[in-house]
Amino acid sequence: MAFRENPFGELKVPLAWTAGVALVVAVVVAVTLLLSDRRETFQTEAYGATRQLGDAVAAPVTQTLAAPTAWLGNGVDYVQGYFFAVSENRRLKAELVAAREWRDAALALRDTNDRYKSLLGLKTDPPIPMAAARTVSGSRGPFANTRLANAGVEKGIKVGNPVMSEIGLVGRVIGVTQGASRILLLTDIASRTPVMVDRTNARSILTGDGGPNPKLEYLRGKDPVKEGDRIVTSGDGGVLPRGLPVGVAVKGLDGRWRVALASDASPVDYVRILLFQDFSQLANAAELNRIPPPPPPEARPAALVGVTPAPPPVAARPATTPTTGQAPAPKAPAPKAATPRPAPPRPAPPATPPPAATPTPEPPPPEAPL
Q: CA–CA separation, 222 vs 234, rounded Å?
A: 19
Please tell me whether the overall predicted TM-score, pTM, comes out greater than 0.75 for this model. Answer: no
User: Per-residue pLDDT for 230 more than 80?
Assistant: yes
User: Per-residue pLDDT for 186 more than 90?
Assistant: yes
Q: Where are the domains of the chain?
A: 3-82, 130-282
Chain-centroid distance, C-alpha 361: 83
CB 164 within 8 A of CB 186: no
Q: CA–CA separation, 162 vs 204, rounded Å?
A: 18
User: Per-residue pLDDT for 214 more than 70?
Assistant: yes
Nearest to 135 by CA among 91, 166, 93: 166
Place domain 130-282 in its CATH homologous superfamily. Answer: Rod shape-determining protein MreC, domain 1 (2.40.10.340)
Q: How much of the chain, in percent, has pLDDT values that exceed 90?
A: 26
List, in sequence order, every residue forming a beta bridge with 245; answer none if it has no partner: 232
Residue 304: pLDDT band with limits 50, 70, 90: very low
The mean pLDDT value of the chain amounts to 74
User: Per-residue pLDDT for 261 more than 80?
Assistant: yes
> In whole angstroms, how large is the CA radius of gyration of the chain?
54
Structure confidence at residue 247 (pLDDT): 95
CB atoms within 10 A of CB 119: 16
In sequence order, which ranges of 84-214 are alpha helices (DSSP H)? 85-120
Nearest to 174 by CA among 165, 163, 189: 163
